[in-house]
Structure 1
């Protein structure tokens, strides 16, 4: 496949672009920052929130699919979160419709359901319970993807990523970790699954202590191979573990992240 990867210079983007190319895909990279050293793909310095600039990239490149990883990975005001996560997704979806590109894989987040109290294994069809405006942006982007799947027949897959790290670092990560290798497996499965329509999966590894149901991902061909439990002996308990595990969104569900929706000038 010839795949556009947005946010290609980010932590996940750098892993995914190299790995997809190694697996035989032709990768076109896009990020709003300048091309990083060592990049070996076609690179466009474009802000995904600029719909005209995004459309120009699609007009220049012949694409089969999009992996949308761009977006601010932390909390912000509500308008900034909507721009970062919803407006960028809308610009890509409109360009996809215009240029007959039918597959979008999106880096959603566990924070779309982050205010859900931590109890039993969480199914993919649990109601949206964002823990932050960041989470609200992810919920809204998923809703937009669902609309475009229904309206235009696109195949759109939302990957609710847990904790993408080289290795788990906290007790919570033993449940939420997504290894770099499994991240690549997840993205490729979402790119190549047969006619998923709109689908969502939880982006974690095959963790023994998993909080989220992996079966929706397996139904799309995602077979994670790594398990955070391999690192459990090296992780010491912390006083933060109780509140870190009270809700599935961890610290994002605490009062530390409470803020007004709109930034106002005094």
Structure 2
């Protein structure tokens, strides 16, 4: 498959590029930043081009060169950054997304993947006390309530996808809602915050989801998928190092709190709970990815 990959020097982008290349796809990779000088040489099936996705001529040139069968759009600010104006963050993300998705549609590319975020709901960067969910665990159908610039930009990218599949019904778009992407669990749990609802995703799992968003069969139109690990990422207060290593992700045996205990302790807002889900999954993630498992054939752990 000939694939145009944007955001190729970003954290998820690097892993996705390596996965696509290893699977034998021909990739035109692009980013506004060139690869670092210390990066290894690209394999023969990868070409890299530096480009600004907010520039329409630059995007047109990319598509001219790629002659792509599929597009994976990861080129965006992944979060608010120190010194970054909210207007620039929002405008860059929303504009680059529309430029890439609309150009893909106009060029007849019918399989598209884009990086969304759990923050499309309004989560990590909302004003204190504003984040609200009506029910746990969280599925893709939960109401979006974005307020901050980053959340709004991700919400709008999903709305763009809704619009474009109506415009071109033969087009299929997967919006992947990633959550705190890290190399592995060990490097994730120290950064976990109650505000983010205790979840993470491995870079490898993100990369596999991106490719499956293009190659999986049996679905159409625009679909949103939660992409997160199956268990909560929270080690708790006062857990000794030896005990933590014995417990690991599962929380079996232990001093680690269950997911419901975490919610009661750290999430005081009123909400409904699926008691059956949490009874079966005492340390189960709050961001369920069963839709991705069912429709994409994706698993976080392989």
TM-score (norm: length of structure 2): 0.70
Does residue 1:145 correspond to 2:161, yes or no?
yes
Aligned to 1:181: 204
CA distance in 2, matches of 1:43, 1:84: 21
Q: Is the 8 A contact 2:2 2:66 kept in 1?
A: no
Aligned to 2:24: 24
| SS of aligned partner of 2:296 | coil
Aligned to 1:50: 55
Aligned to 1:11: 11
- What do you get for the CA RMSD once the two structures are aligned? 2.1
Runs of 4+ off more than 4 Å: 171-174
- Write the mapping of 1:239-258 to structure 2, written as runs, cut at 5 A: none
Aligned to 2:277: none
Does residue 1:224 correspond to 2:226, yes or no?
no
Q: Deviations over 1:159-190 (max 9, x none)?
A: 11101001322354894111122112211221
Aligned to 1:74: 79
Aligned to 1:38: 40
Structure showing greater radius of gyration is: 2
Partner residue of 1:116 out of 95, 108, 132: 132
| SS of aligned partner of 1:101 | coil
CA distance in 1, matches of 2:167, 2:23: 32
Gaps of 5+ in 2: 124-130, 232-282
| SS of aligned partner of 2:299 | coil
- Write the mapping of 1:56-135 to structure 2, written as runs, cut at 5 A: 56-75=61-80, 76-113=84-121, 114=123, 115-117=131-133, 120-130=136-146, 132-135=148-151
Aligned to 2:215: 192
Partner residue of 1:162 out of 162, 169, 179: 179
Q: Once the 2 structures are TM-superposed, how far is the Cα of residue 103 of structure 1 from its aligned partner?
A: 1.5
Aligned to 1:238: none
Q: Once the 2 structures are TM-superposed, how far is the Cα of residue 155 of structure 1 from its aligned partner?
A: 0.7
CA distance in 1, matches of 2:118, 2:153: 12
CA distance in 1, matches of 2:295, 2:99: 26
CA distance in 2, matches of 1:2, 1:55: 16
TM-score (norm: length of structure 1): 0.79
